[in-house]
Homo-oligomer: A and B are copies of this chain.
Amino acid sequence: MNTFGKNLTLTTFGESHGPAMGGVIDGFPAGFRIDFDKLYEEVAKRRPGSSALVTARNEKDFPEFLSGINPDGITLGTPIGFIVRNVDHRSGDYDEMALLYRPNHADYAYDQRYGIRDPRGGGRSSARETVNWVVAGALASQWLESQGVTIQAELSQVGDIVDDDVFSDVMREGTHSPILKVSEEKKREMHDLIKKVKKDGDSVGGRVSCLVTGLKPGIGGPVADKLHASLAQAMMSINAAKGFEYGIGFKAAASYGIEIADRFIAPEDPNGRILTSTNYSGGIQGGISNGMPVYFHVAFKPTPTVMRSLETVDKEGRSAILKPAGRHDPCVAVRAVFVVKAMAALVIADHMIAEK
């Protein structure tokens, strides 16, 4: 229902315009010292209004931790409860939406599912929920770093501006600390496109690339809890996600077996780790990590809210026109970068804790 994970779990709550968002993180390792400055910094990145490219809604997004951490900032092994208050939401902006079903939003589906919904800002279906994930993911990331695991995520496509070289580094044999890098030129072009789209009152889709390094071999599950299946489940849970691929991804369908066979390479040092000559597999074989970098893409649709009148229906099923209102990101993928990173951290930590 509202719980992610099995060994490290995150149970969340919160409507976009209710009193608060929040969650409970259970299974977090005991005795780990949290770096709160770093954590707040990470959470701030996701925040609306954090750059010219995202909605101006101003939320402090300052999580209050209520349990599971002692006064010295050390985890107790008990559940970590936290809340993030909702502020500055101008719920008046959304009055009409209470009555009309917004195209490509969850309004109609929720009414069919529950018979009731909080129409203010999308209620539970709002991407506001992802603040919970980013808080929990930031904690998981700190623990992962203490275990030598690093997660990088970048925007690698907006509209028809695409950087397809972001993973070139992960294909080189033995590259254990590869960098996920988007060319500065592509970044500029993506930035310009988003600004143009915003000016037009339209929105645009995008793609986030993510790279996990430092993961030792043997992490994952064999059948129902394959590591990449857990990643797929988590990434597709992010608002507006439409596709997930890892390793060679959809190009696999057009590939040949001999061409993409990742040959195992004997370590020079007899105590060394076995590597592969290439990494089409994406660091996972049979659902379990093989020690090579893990990498994947997530595709996001354009923000469904646009500054244009759209035909729709009201709750009684009568034709209506939805007029533009509210303030929204022209490109959800920009902020999704931080959500992808957070969810990847939760999934990887969940599987690592399972193996302990």
Contacts and interface: CB of A to CB of B under 8 A. Distances in A.
Interface in A167-226: 197, 202-207, 216-226
Interface in A234-285: 234-237, 239-240, 242-258, 260-267, 270, 272, 274, 276-277, 280-282, 284-285
A101 B264 CA distance: 8
B76 A118 contact: yes
B108 A22 contact: no
A263 to B, nearest CB: 5
Contacts of A105: 285-286
Given A223-B124, A224-B2, A317-B266, A256 B204 contact: yes
B236 A226 contact: yes
Contacts of A18: 66-67
Contact of A81 (B14, B257, B333): B14
Contacts of A109: 217-218, 220, 284-290
A137 interface: no
A77 interface: yes
A300 B221 contact: no
Contacts of A160: 254
A70 interface: yes
A200 to B, nearest CB: 9
Contacts of A21: 67
Contacts of A255: 159, 204-205, 301-302
B125 A286 contact: yes
A110 B222 contact: yes
A124 B78 CA distance: 7
A96 interface: no
Given A1-B27, A31-B116, A252-B301, 20 more contacts: A1-B79, A1-B221, A1-B223, A11-B24, A12-B24, A20-B66, A76-B117, A76-B118, A110-B288, A112-B218, A113-B220, A124-B222, A162-B254, A229-B234, A242-B252, A243-B249, A245-B245, A247-B301, A265-B313, A266-B313
Interface in A20-54: 20-24, 26-27, 30-31
12 contacts: A20-B66, A31-B115, A70-B116, A109-B289, A159-B256, A229-B234, A243-B243, A247-B301, A253-B333, A258-B310, A263-B311, A266-B313
